[in-house]
Amino acid sequence: MVVVALAAIMAALAAPSFKSFVSGQRVKTAASDFAMTAILARSEAIKRNADVTITSVTAGASGWKDGWTVAVGGTALSQQQAYAGVTFAGPATAITYNGSGRLSAAVDTMTITGTDGSARCVAFDLSGMPKSSKSSSGTCP
């Protein structure tokens, strides 16, 4: 009985940290998935020598949480499902890579935030490569 009581106390103490851990992992996964999608779109644009577009399922900057689609012309190459417990703040319009693998227009940094306040940033350099990084302040530059 003593062992069961100690295990219950330990589990009760660990539960809040575990929630924070799970939320942080959701944010990390969402940021990684978005960055990998951008790498896929860039690669396909170079391979096909055509414009490849990443479009949020729902219009607007917060629509990215509902998922996104990578398409060339009218053909969908990849589709990401919605995320639960994560909010996105980023470009209000689609992201387009041209045939040289560069962005056709400057893209705002994507900020992905979890329910516990943890955040990650996905920024794009001049060549169009995305970079995911942890945000210490909860906001991205």
Residue 15 pLDDT: 62
pLDDT band at 17 (very low <50, low <70, confident <90, very high): low
Average pLDDT value for the chain = 87
The burial of 115, by beta-carbon neighbours within 10 Å (0-12 exposed, 13-18 middle, 19 or more buried), is given as middle
User: What 3-state DSSP class applies to 28?
Assistant: helix
* Model pLDDT for residues 56-65, shown as the tens digit of each residue: 988 776 689 8
Domains defined for the chain, CATH in brackets: 25-135 (3.55.40.10)
CB–CB of 17/24 below 8 Å? no
> 135 by DSSP, 3-state: which?
strand
E strand or H helix at 86 = strand 86-89
Residue 39 has pLDDT above 70, yes or no: yes
Separation CA 80–CA 76 (nearest Å) = 11
In the chain, what percentage of residues exceed pLDDT 70? 89
Q: Give the residue among 104, 93, 24 at the shortest CA–CA distance from 64.
A: 93
